[in-house]
Amino acid sequence: MQKLTTQAEWAARAQEVLPAGGFGNFDHSVFIKEGKGSRVWDEDGNEYIDYLIGSGPMLLGHGNEEVLEAVYEQLPKGMTFFANNAAAIELAEEIISATPCGEQLRYVSSGGEADMYAIRAARAFTGRDLVVKFEGGYHGMSAEAQMSLAPTKLVNFPMAVPDSAGIPESVRDQMLIAPFNDFDYIRSLLVEYGDQVACIIAEPLQRIIPPAPGFLELLREEADKYGIVLVFDEVVTGFRFAYGGAQELYGVTPDLCTQGKVIGGGFPLAATVGRADIMAHFDKAKVGAEGWLMQLGTLSGNPVAAVAGLKTMEILKRDGQYDRLRQIGQRIIDMTATELNAHDIPHRIVGDQTLFEVVFTERDVSDYRDVLKADAQKGAAYNKVLREHGLFKSPGKTYPSLAITEADLDQTHAAIKAAAAHIAEG
């Protein structure tokens, strides 16, 4: 077989076997060959500082030696069993101990599955069908989650807009869409529909948009008022914002949450976590056949992912880890603001020190429609220059990691300076 050496050759081959030539994730023209620490290399030999970090899981960086050692120790013992294993029980104990809402959990392989089962568990527990979701909120690829995730056609709330073909019209009737951070709207929506709503599902930080002060507290109060299950999607924020996730940082405890990304240490692992009385619906002996929520998965609780996750948790618990992560993020935020302000470029840096992005706008950003009104062309041009100067990141997020070094920050500053100058030149 001829050895393929360039990304262009790989891309041509991918077009033959993959729809659109990719996995449906990142830029299909990029083929990453290797990652080590804070860096990744593509098939053309280009080296980048990695601010994508696998869309979040690689919080410790690539190839952490302690995580690798744990994985190497497990591999000869077995890679998967479709049965209980001790490491996954230990990891479950650690996740539950760290998570304010945690009493029990059920493993799956992806965050999208965890969100799907959280919605289903809420419906089983309440006997209700309706789901409140916030416009622009990401909760995986289920039919419910694909409602008003990234609509280009803006309609009146609470009407849902499907983001994918193949979703039955009936799903739209089960979804109520609300604007994030709008106190009055969520109150009025629940006055009308509250006794029919099974759950409110929200990212505590919606993509990059922080909750307004008191907004998560309002969701908690309204959920309690109407007997609604409050679900926090912490697939991104869990073990990133703090060891106890966004619910620890913001001080608001949901009934259920979903975890993913960090808990598998770079391997496929996620979980639905929460109150024991709701999680009881996964136990047929407790709720009976009519109340039972069937769930199984070939790789759920995979032992390799479990040992990687356990070691990752151990490292994250060490003194100063979250302080350091936030310091790294703040330095990147500060250098970004300095360089853009030097050219009087209107912008907002939106998010948290552990996860943020530049939005080219003159207005504050509080919901999805504010992001949609921003200057997307400037954003694309800015990110293009960053890539050319060796920064590997998503078009919509910057993920700092604990592997970032002083040399990385120096190069990052130079890249940001170049990108700001490029934008200023028009």
363 and 246 share a domain? Answer: no
53 and 73 share a domain? Answer: no
| CA 32-239-236 angle, 5° bins | 55
Contact 181, 211 (CB under 8 A): yes
Q: Which of 51, 107, 117, 138 is catalytic?
A: 138
- pLDDT single digits (tens) 306-328: 999 999 999 999 999 999 999 99
Provide the CATH number for the domain around residue 229: 3.40.640.10
| Intervals of the chain under pLDDT 50 | none
Provide the CATH number for the domain around residue 376: 3.90.1150.10
Q: Is residue 394, in this structure, part of any structural domain at all?
A: yes
Give the helix ranges, DSSP H, for 79-194.
86-98, 111-126, 169-173, 183-193
Q: Look at the chain and report how many structural domains it folds into.
A: 2
Contact 137, 201 (CB under 8 A): yes
pLDDT at 5: 80
Q: Is residue 21, in this structure, part of any structural domain at all?
A: no
Closest-CA residue to 309 (of 352, 343, 261): 261
Q: Is residue 23, in this structure, part of any structural domain at all?
A: no
- CA gap 272, 260 in Å, rounded: 9
Q: Which of 50, 115, 233, 255 is catalytic?
A: 233
Q: Is residue 309, in this structure, part of any structural domain at all?
A: yes
- CA gap 401, 240 in Å, rounded: 10
Q: Which of 133, 182, 261, 378 is catalytic?
A: 261
Q: Is residue 293, in this structure, part of any structural domain at all?
A: yes
- CA gap 164, 146 in Å, rounded: 6
Q: Cα dihedral sign for 147, 119, 111, 369?
A: positive
233 and 273 share a domain? Answer: yes
pLDDT at 2: 60
Per the annotation, the verdict on 317 as an active-site residue is no
pLDDT at 104: 98
383 and 263 share a domain? Answer: no
224 and 372 share a domain? Answer: no
369 and 227 share a domain? Answer: no
Among 281, 316, 351, the domain-final residue is 316
Domain that holds residue 345: 31-60+326-402+413-424
% of the chain surpassing 70 pLDDT: 99
333 and 244 share a domain? Answer: no
255 and 354 share a domain? Answer: no
In which region does residue 278 sit, left (phi positive, over 0), alpha (psi from -120 to 50) or beta (all else)?
alpha
pLDDT at 426: 79
Per the annotation, the verdict on 370 as an active-site residue is no
Can you tell me whether residue 269 is helix, strand or coil?
coil
Per the annotation, the verdict on 42 as an active-site residue is no
273 and 297 share a domain? Answer: yes
**Whole-structure pTM value:** 0.96
Q: Is residue 262, in this structure, part of any structural domain at all?
A: yes
Among 289, 316, 343, the domain-final residue is 316
Contact 137, 122 (CB under 8 A): no
263 and 370 share a domain? Answer: no
251 and 118 share a domain? Answer: yes
Q: Is residue 47, in this structure, part of any structural domain at all?
A: yes
120 and 198 share a domain? Answer: yes
pLDDT at 114: 98
Which residues pair with residue 231 across a beta bridge? 201, 256
Give the list of residues 6+ apart from residue 408 with CB closer than 8 angstroms, or none: 38, 49
- pLDDT single digits (tens) 164-202: 999 999 999 999 999 999 999 999 999 999 999 999 999
Q: Is residue 384, in this structure, part of any structural domain at all?
A: yes
| CA 350-352-357 angle, 5° bins | 40
Among 316, 351, 372, the domain-final residue is 316
